[in-house]
Amino acid sequence: MVMFRVKIKIAEWKLILLLSLFMSIVPNLAFWKNIYSLIPDASMSNLYFYFAMLIFTVCILNILLTLVLWKNTFIIPILLLLLSASFGYFSLSFNIYVDLHMLLNIMETNTGEAIALMTPYMIIWIVLVGILPSIFLLKITLIKRSLGTLLKIRIFIITSSIAVLLISSMPIYNYYASFFRNNNQIIKQLTPSNYIVAGVKYLNMRFERPVPYKQIGLDAKQIKPQNTEITHKPKLMIFVLGETSRAQNFSLNGYEKLTNPKLAVIENLINFEQASSCATATAISVPCMFSNLTREHYNPKIAKSEDNVLDILSRVGVSILWRENDEGCKGVCDNVLNEQIIHFTPESECPLGLCYDEHLLSNIEDFINKQTQDTLIVLHTNGSHGPSYYQRYPPSFPGQFKPACETNQIQSCDKESLINTYDNTILYVDTVLDKTIDLLLKQNRFVTSMLYLSDHGESLGENGLYLHAAPYMIAPKEQTHIPFMFWFSDSWVEQEQLDLACWQQMAKNRTVSHDNLFHSLLGLFRVQTEVLNQALDLSHTCLKS
């Protein structure tokens, strides 16, 4: 207890240097580890580059801390310590890169997902790397100096830091330029610069002048089939929006373990083997897939300020319902009927505030029975969201792969148990989709169909990466290769005159992506509008009439 009452007197230049060294090294262990792995050999020039990078980082932090640390006000340094400890933990544990997209994902994470990320390792790390250094900082009293002396010291620290930075860097400038040109994403693991830059971009995005809302597809109208020989029934489609499901672990795509036993025997199932996501995080992927903007031209600000495909479908008379069991619809469902299933699901079925996905179907027929027109229901699942994969399916769920990794500290699990647990989530997806199709087969008043599409994939330790949200430029296929499938009832096939053989051939050979969703939904509901791009409408290729 005496230790906490003791005040330590120290010159500010010493404190700044001490803090710079600590913050350059400890919270940035992932950065230094990855820098070292990218150096081809242990030659003197490469080791000098490594050492020069450390000097560069210390000098930059010296300058930053000189500007924000004044007298005995340590609020900003403490905030930097705590944030660096937090982001440093995730970079070290899961090889996470911090940029605007990652920050958007963090800002929109719900309580259940936040709790799922907390582990004893994380708490110990933040205490050791963030909280204890902050307490130590609060025990410090800077040696009193006049304002003139303080200014001289700060000018000296800044100028000497710049001088050392230039002297150490200039001899290997070409090496710097080449290395970071080829590995430019690694800088997103360097704290505090990564979250400071991301934070500035986030604030810019939040507070910049909003774009006036724009309605698109105002000319949209539904075109009824020309076939008059059959009685036309309204359409009912259930779109199951997957979460963090990667295509590699679907046996439908050739995976060696039978993770899709139920879907494998269902007729009229169309499985696109080569599908990619718009992004690697829900906050970007979900608005992007419903938007008219392609991945290449996607802009969150523009997407938020104009109609998405649900708005257009609703305007032409299609009944829309969005059911939520994840972290929100990201604005996509704001203009249509939407509901959270946690509000009508028993608490025992919703561990940590996220329900088992089969409950998305609970009482859904009550809504269906009230509909007389074409209807689209979107079920936003919790799917395979990590790191607590073992909580994404009921404990009694049959046919599980064992042994399983029943912890959120997935980096501590062996590869087999981790993959088994993730595969169990895919097995559960298989069951949920099978139950959805069973429900649709009972709807005699409609012609029915199902669409399943995941928002992004997941890394399970490949190349040291875990979870998702890696920058798209360097994202591995595990995070971008997604499942994408349709199922059509016989009545839908007959009424809409679908060429199933054509669909199957297209699914096997055609590369598709989230870019196809907007246009394919319009096409499947036979909506004609100037914003429909037939080249991206999957239904256009195989429609007989």
* pLDDT tens by residue, 320-365: 999 999 988 999 999 999 999 988 888 888 877 789 999 999 999 9
Residue 294, Cβ neighbours under 10 Å: how many? 16
Name residue 334's amino acid: D
Among 71, 97, 205, smallest CA distance to 476 is for 97
Which of 33-42, 289-298, 323-332, 403-412 comes out lowest in average pLDDT?
33-42
- Confidence (pLDDT) at 1: 45
Q: What is the mean pLDDT of residues 453-470?
A: 92
Residue 280, Cβ neighbours under 10 Å: how many? 29
Helix or strand (DSSP H, E) at 541: helix 538-541
Name residue 20's amino acid: S
> Is residue 24 over pLDDT 90?
yes
Backbone φ, ψ for residue 208 (5° rounding): -70, 160
Q: Convert 193-209 into a string of H (helix), E (strand) and C (coil).
A: HHHHHHHHHHHHHHHCC
Distance CA 488, CA 504 (A): 12
Q: Which residue has the tokens 């450390």?
A: 54
Distance CA 452, CA 250 (A): 13
Burial of 308 (0-12, 13-18, 19+ CB in 10 A): buried
> Is residue 196 over pLDDT 50?
yes
pLDDT digits (tens, 9 = 90+) for 278-296: 999 999 999 999 999 999 9
* DSSP assigned state of 23: H
**Residue spans per domain, the chain:** 2-207, 240-541
* DSSP assigned state of 358: G
User: Which one of 3.40.720.10, 3.30.70.260, 3.40.50.1980, 2.60.120.10 gives the CATH number of domain 240-541?
Assistant: 3.40.720.10
Q: What is the mean pLDDT of residues 246-258?
A: 97
> Is residue 41 over pLDDT 80?
no
- Confidence (pLDDT) at 118: 82
The share of the chain scoring above pLDDT 90, in percent, equals 61
Q: Which residue has the tokens 């598709």?
A: 512
> Is residue 115 over pLDDT 80?
no
Q: Which residue has the tokens 């801390």?
A: 65
275 in Cβ contact with 247 (< 8 Å)? yes
- Confidence (pLDDT) at 104: 80
Distance CA 116, CA 385 (A): 10
Output the CA angle 289-290-294, nearest 5 degrees.
Answer: 50
Tell me which of 115 and 86 has the higher pLDDT. Answer: 86
pLDDT digits (tens, 9 = 90+) for 490-532: 999 999 889 999 999 999 999 999 999 999 999 999 999 999 9
Q: How many residues does the chain have?
A: 545
Q: What is the mean pLDDT of residues 301-305?
A: 91
> Is residue 421 over pLDDT 60?
yes
Q: What is the dihedral of CA 363, 369, 375, 376, to 10 degrees?
A: 10
* DSSP assigned state of 170: G
184 in Cβ contact with 197 (< 8 Å)? no
- Confidence (pLDDT) at 148: 85
pLDDT digits (tens, 9 = 90+) for 78-90: 999 999 999 999 9
Task: Give the helix ranges, DSSP H, for 95-223.
Answer: 100-107, 111-117, 120-126, 132-138, 147-169, 173-182, 193-207
Q: What is the mean pLDDT of residues 237-241?
A: 98
Tell me which of 524 and 73 has the higher pLDDT. Answer: 524
Tell me which of 109 and 477 has the higher pLDDT. Answer: 477
Rounded to 10 deg, the angle between the 44-68 and 29-38 helix axes is 150
Per-residue CA distances from 200 to 61, 159, 355 (Å): 18, 26, 35
pTM for the complete prediction?
0.85
> Is residue 535 over pLDDT 90?
yes
Backbone φ, ψ for residue 73 (5° rounding): -100, 105
Tell me which of 426 and 469 has the higher pLDDT. Answer: 426
Would you place residue 2 in the very low, low, confident or very high pLDDT band (cuts 50, 70, 90)?
very low
Strands (DSSP E) found in 260-374? 269-272, 274-276, 319-324, 337-340
Q: What is the mean pLDDT of residues 101-105?
A: 81
pLDDT digits (tens, 9 = 90+) for 128-186: 999 999 998 888 888 887 888 888 888 998 999 999 988 888 877 777 766 776 777 88
- Confidence (pLDDT) at 227: 61
- Confidence (pLDDT) at 3: 47
Tell me which of 3 and 498 has the higher pLDDT. Answer: 498
447 in Cβ contact with 492 (< 8 Å)? yes
Distance CA 227, CA 223 (A): 12
Distance CA 514, CA 272 (A): 12
> Long-range pairs for 23-27 at CB < 8 Å and ≥24 separation?
23/61, 23/80, 23/81, 23/84, 23/191, 23/192, 24/54, 24/57, 24/58, 24/61, 25/54, 26/88, 26/129, 27/84, 27/85, 27/87, 27/88, 27/129, 27/191
